[in-house]
Amino acid sequence: MHKIAAVNDFVIKFANINGTGSASANNMFAKSIFRSGVPVTPKNIFPSNIQGLPTWYEVRVSEKGYLGRRGGVDFMVATNGQTMMQDFQEVLPGGYFLYDNSKPLAPKYKRDDIHLIGIPLTDICIQEYTDPRQRQLFKNIIYVGALSYLLNIEFEVFAELVQDQFKGKEKLITPNIHALELGYRYAKEYYAETCQLKIERRDLNQGKILVDGNTGTALGAIYAGATVAGWYPITPSTSVVDAFEKYCKRLRVDPANGMNNFAIVQAEDELAAMGMVLGASWNGARAFTATSGPGVSLMAEFLGLAYFAEIPGVLVDVQRTGPSTGMPTRTQQSDIMAAAYASHGDTKHVCLYPANPKECFDMSFNAFELTEYLQTPVIILSDLDLGMNDNMCDAFEWNDEIDYNRGKVLSTDELENLKERWGRYLDVDGEGIGYRTIPGTHPTKGSYFTRGSSHDEYAAYTESSEAYVRSMQRLEKKWDTAKTLVPKPNIRIENKQSKVGAIFFGTSTDAAHEAIDLMQQQNVSVNGLQIKAFPFTAEVEAFIAQHDTIFVIEQNRDGQMKTLLVNELQLDPARLTSVLNYDGMPITATYIVEQIEATINQNKVTPLQQADRG
Amino acid sequence: MSFIRPNIRHPQLAVNDLGYTRANYEGALSTLCAGCGHDSISAAILQSCFELSIEPHKVAKMSGIGCSSKTPAYFLGNSHGFNSVHGRMPSVATGANLANRDLVYIGVSGDGDTASIGMGQFAHVVRRNLNMVYIVMNNGCYGLTKGQDSATADRGSASKKGIPNPYSSIDLCETAIQLGAGFVARSFSGDKEQLIPLIKAAVSHRGFALIDVVSPCVTFNNTANSTKSYDHVREHMNATGTFDFVPLKEEITTEYEPGQTEEITLHDGSAVRLHKATESLDFSSRRSAMNEIEKHKEKGEVLTGLLYLNPQTPDTHELLGTTTTPLNQLDKDKLCPGSKTLDAINDSFR
């Protein structure tokens, strides 16, 4: 019978029950591969539930360094009776199915194209442990031990991981290592030559880290000097604030007096969370909130106020599957329009689209710099896939020489020495950005009234049409300034002559790059551009102009980024073809290739053949 | 209403400890209706800040939307003001206070802004015990949209439209007491003698201080059948007693009969001295306050004055353990952990 054989290139999936302690065991498994020097991408596919419902953990191992989801399962670890049949069917022909054979597999589990690996997890646990909770928890560790043998992962790597994980709880180290050994020994005894999927040690992860994007965002906020966070719990953004709090407690408590150099308030709702951010930013602190789509809807009114009254504020939107409550624990890139144009009237907001935790860190810092310089909200659009899953990326970097740029803020001395009449909304430098003042700065100069109603250059209420139009035009000028300050796209030119381009952003990026590689292997050259920010910079416009056929790859139904491009750059919609994935699961490279090739064939586009390349 | 305020001031205008005259605390001209109760409250705020010798730039004026929320433009022109969105002033004030705990935060709101659209934010800013003065200019109706009943309109009260309000009213003082506010008072825009010391005490109180000020709407709700008209409130007002605010520096000299007078020291060392009209009210008891308010309501009266005071409640910053330096004054050295620490953090992700 055919056996899938591969070294450092396969997908293994764990089918578990939520709340049974499988998450830490599965994390340990993914980290063992990372520590073996082999690139790895784990993805949690979890329910909106605390205990009892099915949950999966899908791990892609890719020596080539492809970090997007691959799809297909070479090895299934099935521990959940509720989904066992579905899990059984999902294994690719020639693949492996590890299950608990304490009870024999029911006759309906019939496939002659996959390899069964029965490990009596329950029996071993009943024999070894008396405490029911331990029986449950160690089941997970035992299958990880078995995988260590089956996939040839160095046992010492696990031993080290256990020691790291239980630092401070040394009592737990020996029993965990024992449980790993139980699985290892059983597999060695009964399945010595069964599995042809192997991990071989490499050294491909130098300078890399394995971390979730929300932690990256939180650390970026810490390094940016954010002191105030107002927030309301919502999946998948909660861990942004959790991580912010965790690192604040570690790094921001004054050692002299034990007091906090930060303030985190759990608000009564997302409206209040955004209100707190604006109040704090208006008052000169760096402040942020984190939410998901439903929160963005609620924050819309405040975003409009911040746009019009020109108040900084950072909003982290960790997107999930909409509309409405949607699928709260599944991923999507579907708040693109809601964020870009949040609020009534003519509004538009600066958005950043990180693709990995390193970009979360960098863009989080950048968001605070931009929001204060531009005096307008900045929205970071991450998503569940990036925010909550461990993603491999370059290590976070910080340059100690960099000073914060707090933007156009008048100091006490500057106010004292003002030569001309100051106006909060006067465009002094021609960038469309006025000089603001922080309350309490000067006894007699620089006070003004902040309002969302129409105001003139001196912040006075006005119903003058001329003054209103002047202010709207100045905001438009500020928007043009933003175009020169936001991060530029990453452009990848496969072939200068190719007239086919692909545009992508955020978590579609890894899969898109892999798809470009796959197409290149078939001698189809597609150039790529990763959008990093809205408003679109000149480079985006130029890239589109240079290509006859443009694919816009995104994870929503309506092609929201395409709409934004068409609208903002005044493009002919027919020039852009959408590649859309919106089932809540992260997009795969093979899906992108299929979609692009289907369009190319259908339209009889002749992409540049690569016969003479190189 | 529009006219020009003369720029001339009496040469011997009184000055306060900072050397400022009242003029230093004035704002722009009011655009509210002539006779609006709100303008009297603005004047009382102005007078209180002047007498307390607060530096105007150390005050932040916060408001939502509505007639009342416009008023911060009409007092303390040397203070920053923030006219936010409808019903959301409490969250903006919370953020502002988190960023700089050293300013005085005076929030001005209306009954619509607080008791309807902003009820949730009001409840939670009380729970957080944010250090601020929260003044409700309460006229029982929506003035800017021409007189609809608000959630504080008494059942049966009729505004200019003449239709008695069929719904229960929300008593913001009782709500605030129930939710844990440390300073709760009710007053009347037409009673400056009572309102000014209340505002001064509220500013000195650390933590959340609510003053619900009945402030008649002359245009839409000053009718014979309204319980928030000037006449009705004057006739049915019953004060908990007279009330003095004693600043820290002033020596207390007058002697009062024990039992009828209570003196409560505030966190900053100043004190409130109460000459109680009724023995039954215990200002330090929430239950007593609720009882008294309800007792007067049963008689169709409005109980004004200080209703409840607990000067010892920890404010938001104490609850959070925030450093005493305003967060907006911490620099990069204090806030940024630096590259070496980041290297160690990176290692924890390997």
Which pLDDT score is estimated for A408?
98
Q: Judging by DSSP bridges, how do beta strands A73-78 and A9-17 pair with one another?
A: parallel
Closest of A529, A492, A508 to residue A592, by C-alpha:
A508
Residue A553: is its pLDDT beyond 90?
yes
Instruction: Please state the separation of Cα B191 from the chain's center in Å.
Output: 15
d(C-alpha B70, C-alpha B110), whole Å: 10
Secondary-structure percent of chain B, ordered helix, strand, coil, rounded to 5:
35, 20, 45
Mutation target among A35, A266, A447, A458 for the B interface, most CBs of B within 10 A: A447
Give φ, ψ of A303 to 5 degrees: -65, -35
Q: Whole-number mean pLDDT of chain B?
A: 93
Residue A54: is its pLDDT beyond 50?
yes
Closest of A212, A258, A377 to residue A308, by C-alpha:
A377
Supply the DSSP symbol for A455. B
Q: If you average pLDDT over residues B12-17, what whole number do you get?
A: 89
Instruction: Please report the beta strands in chain B, taking only residues with DSSP state E, as ranges in sequence order.
Output: 59-63, 80-83, 104-110, 132-138, 141-142, 148-149, 183-188, 208-214, 237-239, 241-246, 261-265, 271-276, 302-309
Residue A51: is its pLDDT beyond 90?
no
User: What's the pLDDT tens digit per position in A148-206?
Assistant: 999 999 999 999 999 999 988 989 999 999 999 999 999 999 999 999 999 999 999 99
Domains, chain A, with CATH or none: 6-198 (3.40.920.10), 211-394 (3.40.50.970), 412-485 (no CATH), 490-603 (3.40.50.920)
Chain A environment of B81 (Cβ under 8 Å) = 447-451
d(C-alpha A591, C-alpha A372), whole Å: 40
Instruction: Please report the beta strands in A421-560, taking only residues with DSSP state E, as ranges in sequence order.
Output: 449-451, 490-492, 500-505, 527-531, 533-534, 549-554
Which pLDDT score is estimated for A605?
61
Residue A610: is its pLDDT beyond 60?
no
What tokens appear for B48 in the block? 């209180």
Output the pTM of the full model. Answer: 0.96
Which pLDDT score is estimated for B3?
58
Which pLDDT score is estimated for A601?
86
pLDDT band of residue B262 (cuts 50, 70, 90) is confident
Tokens 């988190």 belong to residue = B98
User: What's the pLDDT tens digit per position in A418-448?
Assistant: 999 999 999 999 999 999 999 999 999 999 9
Q: If you average pLDDT over residues A67-85, what whole number do you get?
A: 97
Q: Judging by DSSP bridges, how do beta strands B241-246 and B302-309 pair with one another?
A: unpaired
Which pLDDT score is estimated for B247?
87
Q: What is the fold of B22-325?
A: Rossmann fold (3.40.50)
Give φ, ψ of A87 to 5 degrees: -65, -40
Chain B environment of A396 (Cβ under 8 Å) = 342, 345-346
d(C-alpha B34, C-alpha A242), whole Å: 52
Which pLDDT score is estimated for B280?
81
- Strand order of the sheet with strand B271-276? B241-246, B271-276, B261-265
Instruction: Out of A224, A260, A398, name the one closest to residue B342 (CB).
Output: A398
Which pLDDT score is estimated for A614?
36
Contact across the interface for B327 and A227, Cβ inside 8 Å: yes
Which pLDDT score is estimated for A525?
96
B31: nearest CA partner in chain A: A461
Which residue pairs from B17-25 have beta carbons closer than 8 angstroms and sit at least 24 positions apart in sequence?
Answer: B17/B53, B18/B53, B18/B55, B20/B50, B20/B53, B20/B56, B21/B50, B22/B46, B22/B47, B22/B50, B24/B50, B24/B56, B24/B78, B25/B49, B25/B50, B25/B56, B25/B75, B25/B76, B25/B77, B25/B78
Q: If you average pLDDT over residues A547-564, what whole number do you get?
A: 98
pLDDT band of residue A611 (cuts 50, 70, 90) is very low
Which pLDDT score is estimated for B1?
44
Mutation target among A251, A283, A315, A453 for the B interface, most CBs of B within 10 A: A283
Q: If you average pLDDT over residues A336-354, what whole number do you get?
A: 98
Contact across the interface for A225 and B330, Cβ inside 8 Å: yes
d(C-alpha B307, C-alpha B291), whole Å: 10
Contact across the interface for B320 and A263, Cβ inside 8 Å: yes
Angle at B16 between CA B11 and CA B18, to 5 degrees: 110
Q: Whole-number mean pLDDT of chain A?
A: 96
DSSP code string of B107-161: EEEEHHHHHTTTHHHHHHHHHHT-SEEEEEEE-SEETTTT-EE-TTSPTT-B-TT
d(C-alpha A243, C-alpha A220), whole Å: 11
d(C-alpha B108, C-alpha A345), whole Å: 26
Instruction: Out of A215, A263, A302, name the one closest to residue B85 (CB).
Output: A302
pLDDT band of residue B276 (cuts 50, 70, 90) is confident
Instruction: Please report the beta strands in A479-555, taking only residues with DSSP state E, as ranges in sequence order.
Output: 490-492, 500-505, 527-531, 533-534, 549-554
Chain A environment of B106 (Cβ under 8 Å) = none
What tokens appear for B273 in the block? 């001295």
Instruction: Out of B92, B332, B341, name the one closest to residue A404 (CB).
Output: B332
Instruction: Out of B55, B92, B350, name the one closest to residue A279 (CB).
Output: B92
User: What's the pLDDT tens digit per position in A317-334?
Assistant: 999 999 999 999 999 999
d(C-alpha B349, C-alpha A86), whole Å: 34
d(C-alpha A563, C-alpha A503), whole Å: 13
Closest of A139, A135, A141, A151 to residue A188, by C-alpha:
A151
> What one-letter code names the amino acid at A220?
G
Cα A219 to Cα A425, A528, B70, distances in angstroms: 33, 29, 40
Instruction: Say which residues have a Cβ less than 8 Å from residue A414's Cβ, sequence separation at least 6.
Output: none
3-state secondary structure of A145: helix
d(C-alpha A528, C-alpha A502), whole Å: 5
Contact across the interface for A282 and B128, Cβ inside 8 Å: no
Chain A environment of B345 (Cβ under 8 Å) = 219, 247, 396
Residue A602: is its pLDDT beyond 90?
no
Which pLDDT score is estimated for A612?
44
Q: If you average pLDDT over residues A67-93, what whole number do you get?
A: 97
User: What's the pLDDT tens digit per position in A233-269?
Assistant: 999 999 999 999 999 999 999 999 999 999 999 999 9
Q: If you average pLDDT over residues A76-80, what whole number do you get?
A: 97
Residue B251: is its pLDDT beyond 60?
no
CB contact at 8 A, A214 and A384: no
Which pLDDT score is estimated for B2?
47
Three-state SS letters, B217-236: CCCCCCCCCCCCCHHHHHHH
Tokens 């989801």 belong to residue = A69
User: What's the pLDDT tens digit per position in A460-513?
Assistant: 999 999 999 999 999 999 999 999 999 999 999 999 999 999 999 999 999 999
d(C-alpha A272, C-alpha A274), whole Å: 5
Instruction: Out of A210, A279, A284, name the one closest to residue B349 (CB).
Output: A210
Chain B environment of A279 (Cβ under 8 Å) = 62, 82, 84, 91-99
Domain locations in chain B? Answer: 22-325
Angle at B189 between CA B186 and CA B195, to 5 degrees: 55
d(C-alpha B348, C-alpha B171), whole Å: 54
Which pLDDT score is estimated for B201?
97
Which pLDDT score is estimated for B250?
65
Instruction: Out of B121, B335, B346, name the one closest to residue A268 (CB).
Output: B121
CB contact at 8 A, A214 and A356: no
d(C-alpha A480, C-alpha A477), whole Å: 5
Contact across the interface for B97 and A223, Cβ inside 8 Å: no
pLDDT band of residue B170 (cuts 50, 70, 90) is very high
Residue B254: is its pLDDT beyond 60?
no
* Angle of the A357-374 helix axis to the A213-223 helix axis, nearest 10: 40
Contact across the interface for A440 and B57, Cβ inside 8 Å: yes
A459: nearest CA partner in chain B: B81
Residue A609: is its pLDDT beyond 80?
no
CB contact at 8 A, B88 and A275: yes
